Each structure stands twice: as structure tokens, then as C-alpha cells.
Amino acid sequence: MTSAATATRTARDQRRTLRPTGEERLLAPDDLIVSKTDLRGVITYANESFLRCSAYAEEEVIGRPHNLVRHPAMPRAVFSLLWDTLARGEEVFAYIANLAADGATYWVLANVTPSYDAAGKVVGYHSSRRAPSPGALAAVRPLYQRLLAEERRHTSGPAAAAAGAALLCSVLAEQGLTYDEFVWSLIARGGF
């Protein structure tokens, strides 16, 4: 088994045993969480803010899949949208709930961009995250709960992600918005 496959399996196993405690960790307004990954989403860099907020030590995250901090209350559809956008070579902004090593939840507004080499080839991804505004979270949480409810109706991961994505598109289309426009409307209303 390759080291990447071992790291993925270890992260998946850890997520199965790590449960949210109900504690919510708030980021300070000046916190800027930064991480970098390779093309597979394996962490190659994490700054001090990432380590502090996630309650992991650097050696626990470097070489591990970024989904190590994936919260079970995050809809698969949002991650599908994120990866589809990055695959097109575009940046994406998304509201994300993360799960820290100690079980605390911390919400972020993430900006994820492809990283390019000198020849213009995508070689990885760079993510910067800030504290989201309370108003943005008040709009995002009920939407994500609807997506999760839809996704839980499906037994396979791909089917759940597809169903959640379809619902997300439908809900936002009713408002005349794409996900990007939804995020930017929340930023415009109350900051991040």
C-alpha cells in the first residue's frame, strides 16, 4: 500500500472515531488559516493558525489528507462543488464547518485556489480561511442542514453528493443565484 493510501485510510479511520463535542471554537477576526495541498488534497503546509484552530500538531497534519478536519455535518455537495470548481482551474469561496482534533467545531469562509508551477501546470491547492460573520452562518446552516437531510436519504456517497448538489442548485436557482453569488451576497451583507 502506498504512503498516500495509508494516510487516507488513517484519516478516514480517525474521522470515524472522532466525534463532535458540541463545543464551537470561534476564530478571532484577525485569524488567517492557511494550508497548501498537493493535487490529491494531501497537506504539504499548515500555518500556526491552522494548527491552533484544528488542535493538531504539525506532524499530525503534514502528509495527511486535508479531509482530516472534515466535519460530519458538512454536506458532500459542497465538497463536490469545491473540487469541480478547482478541476476547472477556478478559485472557489465556500463556508465550511471543520472538526478539530479535540472534537470542537470551527466554521470558516474558505478561499481555495489552484497553485501553478512556472509552466502554468496546476501542482496543488492553496487555501486561506477567515472567520465567517454570524449573519452568513445564520443563512448557511439551514441550507446545509437541508442538503444533509437529502444526502442521508441515499446509501452511496456518490449518490448522496449528487442528490445534495441537485438540491443545492435547485434552492439557489429559486433565488436566482449560483453558489458563488450566494457566498458573495452573504459577504456583501455582513463581511466574511
| 1-40 pLDDT per residue, tens | 455 555 444 544 554 578 999 999 999 989 999 999 999 9
Note whether 80 and 168 are within 8 A (CB): no
Length of the chain, in residues: 192
Radius of gyration in angstroms for the set of CA atoms belonging to the chain, rounded to a whole number: 16
In this prediction, residues 140-152 reach a mean pLDDT of 97
Task: Select from 102, 118, 101, 94 the least CA-distant residue to 64.
Answer: 101
Quick one: pLDDT at residue 178?
A: 92
In this prediction, residues 118-138 reach a mean pLDDT of 96
Rounded CA-CA distance 97/18 in Å is: 15
Whole-prediction pTM value?
Answer: 0.88
Query: For residue 170, is pLDDT > 60?
Result: yes
Q: What is the tens place of the pLDDT at every residue in 42-91? A: 999 999 999 999 999 999 999 999 999 999 999 999 999 999 999 999 99
Cell numbers standing for residue 120: 502554468
Rounded CA-CA distance 135/131 in Å is: 12
Quick one: pLDDT at residue 15?
A: 46
Residue 90 phi/psi, 5° resolution?
Answer: -110, 155
Domains (ranges, CATH) in the chain?
3-190 (3.30.450.20)
Query: For residue 138, is pLDDT > 50?
Result: yes
List the end-to-end C-alpha distance of the chain, in Å, as a whole number.
42
Query: For residue 115, is pLDDT > 50?
Result: yes
- Per DSSP, 41 falls in state -
Q: What is the tens place of the pLDDT at every residue in 148-163? A: 999 999 999 999 999 9
Task: Select from 61, 47, 128 the least CA-distant residue to 100.
Answer: 61
